[in-house]
Amino acid sequence: MRVVVAGGAGFLGSHLTDALLERGDEVVVVDDFVTGSPDNVAHLSSHDGFELVEQDVTRPFEIDGPIDAVMNLASPASPKDYHQMPLETLAVGSTGTRNLLELALGADARFFMASTSEVYGDPHVHPQTESYWGNVNPIGERSMYDEAKRFSEALTFAYHRTCSLPVRVVRIFNTYGPRMQVDDGRVVSNFIVQGLRGEPLTIYGDGSQTRSFCYVEDEVRGFLALLDSDVVGPVNIGNPGEFTMLELAEIVTELTGSDAGIVFEPLPADDPKQRRPDITIATEQLGWAPEVDLRTGLERTIPYFAGVLGDVVG
């Protein structure tokens, strides 16, 4: 296939691009590098099947040649980024998504929407199934991300129903691995960086809130399984292993050799108290399940951050 990956120079998008090229697809990465980085795809510059287009997807654009699939991963995804760019986040979720839907429609291509577990908000149903409508504050301090993704889903299904556009919608649960930004504000990268720097690990709240962490290779495998299937979705792709923030801090402290301890800060507004995916649809209809446990994934991720921090210090 020839696949357009919007946001393909980001953390998840670059790993997806690697996987598509490895299996023989051609990839056109579209990215404006606001949160992604050319460094994430620099190793692909000489690959015959790779093309990089610098483009803001909220502005109209065209891609020359045939297109078989459009995969929309274009959005700020870390708390630091979407809090600094609330209007841009809402724009990419609305106008950007519509431009990409139109690109897919015009090319008679399949459209893949990367949504998020944040559409469930601070859930009253646990674990979260795809049929749960969520508990989201539409005007809260993190609503620019939650509601942008909820609108993206609504827009995607409107095109599916109105224009008969073939679509696939994935809901992503906390994903981690190499190429995450050092300062992106997500808990895994925060803890690893603080541990490697010998700083106390910062926990917001009392540390009892939970998350389910999926290693990036598992996540991308789930993306491809959904893309290649006849399942419309939405489909939860995440690791159902559930950990408190204190449990995560203990593992990272051990693996980084940190002895600086933990400090506690107030819990941010609307921060979900628990998060765990029900992956029944993914396992039964896609044949997908995560393979990398949290400790193993962290052991693969920490050397990446150590290298980046070493470069920064050097």
Q: Which of 82, 145, 159, 176 is catalytic?
A: 145
Alpha-carbon gap, residue 210 to 187, rounded angstroms: 11
204 included as an active-site residue? no
Nearest to 275 by CA among 190, 187, 212, 192: 212
Do the Cβ atoms of 238 and 116 come closer than 8 Å? Answer: no
Structure tokens at 166: 């073939």
Alpha-carbon gap, residue 89 to 77, rounded angstroms: 9
- In sequence order, what are the residues at sequence separation of 6 or more whose Cβ sits closer than 8 angstroms to the Cβ of residue 43? none
Going by the DSSP 8-state scheme, the letter that residue 126 receives in this structure is S
Q: Which residues pair with 4 in a beta bridge?
A: 28, 70
Do the Cβ atoms of 265 and 204 come closer than 8 Å? Answer: yes
Task: Give the phi and the psi of residue 167 in degrees, each rounded to 5.
Answer: -130, 160
Enclosing H/E stretch for 169: strand 167-172
Do the Cβ atoms of 11 and 181 come closer than 8 Å? Answer: yes
> Which residues are marked as active site?
145
